[in-house]
Amino acid sequence: MSPVSVPLPKAYRLLNHGPTVLVTSAHGERRNIMAAAWNMALDFDPPKIAVVIDKNTYTRELIEASGTFALNIPSRALAEATVAVGSASGRDYDKFAEHRLATFAAEQIAAPLLEGCLAWLECKVIPEPHNQQQYDLFIGEVVAAWAEPGVFHDGHWHLEADAPRSIHYVAGGAFFETGETFNVGQRG
């Protein structure tokens, strides 16, 4: 299925459960992808997210040059690729070509979006030089968001038994897969 647009005030729900993401970036002819387990939703409207991007990464260079990046939410099918793109730098080779990762164009930013993911958030950096320098912490405003309608629609995840799920990195190549959904209703 083709990705469908997620209303921006609902974009935080793509990250609320803490999935590991793939950060894509681009500047001029250069593009890159890395894994990031340290990310979170930060606000509803306008939606904002936070992600840690280490100083040594090539991704950091491209994000600082372009002021934009995307968070791509992979499923288990991309777990090996997640570890691979999180274990070597794109300064040395094109990770998309090396790992046969297909992309499609984002709407608002130059960074490519990774095919086969469950959802995508296009972000513009909100400059916070102290946090970036001191903590490697980048805050982004989400300017467009997309999801596979089979797993996220009407502002909610719909993870049927056989649905692909997002993944949560532990360490040493081990992940949890997003588990069973249960609902206690809303009060008030």
Which residues of the chain form contacts with ligand FMN (CB under 6 A)?
A: 20, 32, 34-38, 52-54, 57-59, 82-83, 86-91, 169
Nearest approach, Cβ of residue 59 and ligand FMN (Å): 3
Report the residue number, 59 or 75, with the smaller CB distance to ligand FMN. 59
Which amino acid appears at position 55 of this protein?
A: K
Scored b (16 or more CB within 10 A) or e, 155-169 reads eebebeeebbbbbbb
Report the residue number, 45 or 94, with the smaller CB distance to ligand FMN. 94
Nearest 5°: CA angle at 34, between 29 and 38? Answer: 135
Report the residue number, 8 or 139, with the smaller CB distance to ligand FMN. 139
Nearest approach, Cβ of residue 181 and ligand FMN (Å): 24
**The tokens of 163 are what?**
């649905």
Q: Under the phi-then-psi rule, with left for phi > 0, alpha for psi from -120 to 50, and beta for the rest, what region is 28?
A: left
Strand bridging mode 30-36 / 156-157: unpaired
Nearest approach, Cβ of residue 68 and ligand FMN (Å): 15
Nearest approach, Cβ of residue 146 and ligand FMN (Å): 21
Report the residue number, 23 or 184, with the smaller CB distance to ligand FMN. 23
